[in-house]
Amino acid sequence: GENVGLHLPTLSVQEGDNSIINCAYSNSASDYFIWYKQESGKGPQFIIDIRSNMDKRQGQRVTVLLNKTVKHLSLQIAATQPGDSAVYFCAENGRGGATNKLIFGTGTLLAVQP
């Protein structure tokens, strides 16, 4: 697929295991964070978000953890499935009034082995 030879940070897990994808963000003023999943040939899809007044949020099979002290975000996927194979991006949205924009981190390629 188009991700072959990409040299992205890669996380390889066995089907059924839990996955943890990490992200460091840059702006301590950022107050809203999102995880996106991008499958081959598609646009980024929203997975889960979290505001800076929270440190944990759970969705269906996914949990996002936010540590503002060290500016770190993680995405946990429970019971990883082959369909979870994709590139995952974290994004931060800083306070900015008119400049309301999402800044994306470097993606992580999740490869699920059957």
Partner 1 sequence: DTAVSQTPKYLVTQMGNDKSIKCEQNLGHDTMYWYKQDSKKFLKIMFSYNNKELIINETVPNRFSPKSPDKAHLNLHINSLELGDSAVYFCASRLRDLYNSPLHFGNGTRLTVT
Q: Which span sits near partner 1 by CB under 8 A: 3-11, 20-28, 57-65, 69-77? A: 3-11
Q: CB of 65 within 8 A of CB of 73?
A: yes
Q: Rule CB under 8 A: choose which of 1, 43, 83, 114 binds partner 1.
A: 43
46 CB-near residues (< 8 Å, 6+ apart): 34, 36
Q: Is 1 in the site for partner 1 (CB under 8 A)?
A: no
Torsion of CA 57, 39, 2, 93, to 10 degrees: -50
Q: Is 62 in the site for partner 1 (CB under 8 A)?
A: no
- 34: region left, alpha or beta (phi > 0 left; psi from -120 to 50 alpha): beta
Q: Which span sits near partner 1 by CB under 8 A: 16-24, 45-53, 60-68, 77-85? A: 45-53
| Contact residues: partner 1, CB under 8 A | 6-8, 31-32, 34, 36, 38, 41-46, 49, 51, 87, 89, 93, 98-104, 106-107
